[in-house]
Structure 1
Amino acid sequence: MNLKLPKTYKLILAMCVVAGPFIWLVLTEDGKRRSDLFLLHLLGHQPFNLAVANLRPGLEETTLLSQFSRIEFTCVDQPGPLGSRRCAAEIGSFNGVPARSAELYWDEGRLNAVRIDYRGRWHQVLLDELRKRHGPPRRDGVGSGVVLAWRSEAGMLLLPETLAADEPPALMWISAQG
């Protein structure tokens, strides 16, 4: 009984082992997203994995920020339409989607709003994930575009249906008590 593998079979198997992951990383959308996440992590950008469903107005600043101790939030008292205090940080990803920054807005100790600036290339991935987690959104016309809205008792999650060239891609959570 001959148990040796032919050289051609070994060569094809070795090529598949080497080329398979490379092809997945370069040619598939999931592979490209995971490559981006890995590179952002290597460059020191931290993930911001926030359970949007758990956001509520009574959430205290120290409680929320202590859950993300590896992210360096800069907080300043800055009165504005979303709140009197703003905490901002550069991030690498938001719930598995490559992102740029996170901004949290507080007013009198209450969480008023959260803004996530994500990378526009991954808009459809974020939209698909939100639909999977929160169900179908309501479509609201705003100006010349459409905003998708997911409502809950604590607030509303907003995402543009299509990205505008003159605005950075952003996901917003707005408190229902704001």
Structure 2
Amino acid sequence: MIVPETQTRTAGPNDEDALGALDRAAWSTLHAVVPAPVEPYAPFFDDRHRPEDYLVAVRGDVLVGYVRVVAPTPLAANAHVRQVQGLVVAGPARGQGVARALLRAAMDRAREDGAVRITLRVLGHNAPARALYAAEGFVVEGVLPGEFLLDGASVDDVLMGRSLLG
């Protein structure tokens, strides 16, 4: 089977239904700290989650993933930082470089926005994501032990970051 090339682009309002469906299909305690979504579903986009905050991965005409990249706070003192706040890949597209393409696109977008640093948070038990981030130059900068209780188990919140210079 030939897999179409993955393209990344900024999300648009017309992507809302596909993004919502992807988000619901990919929900797992491996990466989510909020309860599983139930109907009626909230809109994917709102005042805090705007289309322009998302980069999407598309193969042909199928949306196969997204990453959200935003300023971590509204403070001028850390306007030089961007934060990944969500990276999701459709099940059938996993292991095919989609997450890596999205992460690299996120770093490019952050640089274009003038950022010199990028950070993220990942659950301690999410070994595949942690390995990807490490392979892309992110390092563990802190751990909040037992920050979350998921399915009755204590899970660490791992803070990772990297420079965007050089």
Q: Verify same fold: TM over 0.5.
A: no
Which structure has the larger Rg? 1
More helix by share: 1
TM-score if structure 2 supplies the norm length? Answer: 0.31
- TM-score for the superposition, normalised by structure 1: 0.30
- Of structures 1 and 2, the one with the larger relative CO (CA 8 A, separation 6+) is 2
